[in-house]
Copies of this chain bind each other. A is one copy, B any other.
Amino acid sequence: MTELKNDRYLRALYKQPVDCTPVWMMRQAGRYLPEYRELRAQAGDFLSLCKNAELACEVTMQPLRRFDLDAAILFSDILTIPDTMGLGLYFETGEGPKFSHPITSKADVDKIGIPDPEGELQYVMNAVRTIRRELKGEVPLIGFSGSPWTLATYMVEGGTSKAFTKIKKMMYAEPQTLHALLDKLADSVVSYLNAQIKAGAQSVMVFDTWGGVLTPRDYHDFSLQYMQKIVDGLIREHDGRRVPVTLFTKNAGMWLERIAATGCDGVGLDWTINMADAKARIGDKVALQGNMDPSMLYASPERIRQEVSTILDGFGEGTGHVFNLGHGIHLDVPPDNAGVFIDAVHELSKPYHG
């Protein structure tokens, strides 16, 4: 077992005692940091940055140099898997990712293969290996993937969407086509995350950004059941240590029990649920990750500390809480406010731990 200097993040997910509540931030490596913007300007487009292991490592490390974070997260794109599938992924300034050949039929789905994580996705594994070396055991490294449903939304809609009409049209008119796509994506994610674990990711997270746009019935059939397949297929022990998996569906506050029942270790929470309610509902089963509104980082240091205190108080005493934002950090927050947030979690959480 590789030694870790700071294992608070893993211990909280294992529900083992910690000295204070661990904290990291979704999208902690990114555009709100001037040093990121500088590197990004040199690298060219976003995918080029992801595909260069040295640069991806550098970007991953940047927030750790500024802040007292308890985990690093692989810098990569959510669409690395679809990018291998011949749909013509490209990025348009200000409009996010687009596919020039979106999935429209069963024939399109049949053409798709499961990507080889040490083949066309080897650049991701190289980034994981490089980051692990560079981290020198300071904090654990989190690997990640988009959920099958969330990846499918981009692949069918051809980009980001508001109403998800194309994929819902497919879901209601041709459910078997969508199931075939989701099944291939679930197999791809299992193989992708297991390769990340073998390459050195000490924990993995599945981001289901768009599962919350579904009915409770459809959420089960088209999102959760494929995340269940992922949880069931993941390597759960590696290098002598349990590899915790965290599932995060945005806008899924009503469905926490069902997410916790998958056998995942952690459940990510957005800010629309009170931490105390979430703990009462699923805190006996899983660890909780979250859940400050990322917009709070626009506020004054006093207001940020007050919000951290409210959320810590909601969780109450004991371990099982990984503090985070309820979604990715906004690109225009002052970096110093992120520092205030992180320090506040460490300082204000001490009284809640033995």
Q: Contacts of A294 on B, CB cut-off 8 Å?
A: 163
Q: Pick the contact of A293 from B215, B253, B277 — CB < 8 Å? A: B215
Is B272 a contact partner of A165 (Cβ separation < 8 A)?
A: no
Query: Which of A164, A172, A253, A273 has the most C-beta atoms of chain B within 10 angstroms of its own C-beta?
Result: A172
Is the Cβ of A172 less than 8 Å from the Cβ of B273?
A: no
Would you call A209 an interface residue if the criterion is a C-beta within 8 Å of the partner chain's C-beta atoms?
Answer: no
Interface set, chain A 147-184, CB cutoff 8 A to B:
163-165, 168-169, 171-173
Q: Is the interface of A mostly helix, strand, loop or mixed?
A: helix
For this chain, the copies found in one complex come to 2
Query: Which residues of the other chain, B, contact A293 by a CB distance below 8 angstroms?
Result: 168, 214-215, 218
Give every chain B residue within 8 A of A218 (Cβ-Cβ): 293
**Among B214, B254, B277, B295, contact of A169 (Cβ-Cβ < 8 Å):** B295
Counting contact residues on chain A (CB < 8 A from B), the size range is 35 or more
A17 to chain B, nearest CB (A): 29
Closest to A256 in B: B254
Contact in complex: A172, B215 (CB < 8 Å): no
Residues of chain B within 8 A of A251, CB atoms compared:
212, 251, 272
Apart from the given pairs A168-B293, A169-B295, 6 other A-B contacts in the complex at a CB distance below 8 Å: A165-B295, A165-B332, A169-B299, A173-B298, A216-B274, A253-B254
Q: What are 19 A-to-B residue pairs whose CB atoms are below 8 Å?
A: A163-B295, A163-B330, A165-B295, A168-B296, A169-B298, A169-B299, A172-B303, A173-B299, A173-B300, A212-B272, A213-B272, A215-B272, A215-B293, A219-B272, A251-B251, A251-B272, A253-B254, A254-B272, A254-B273
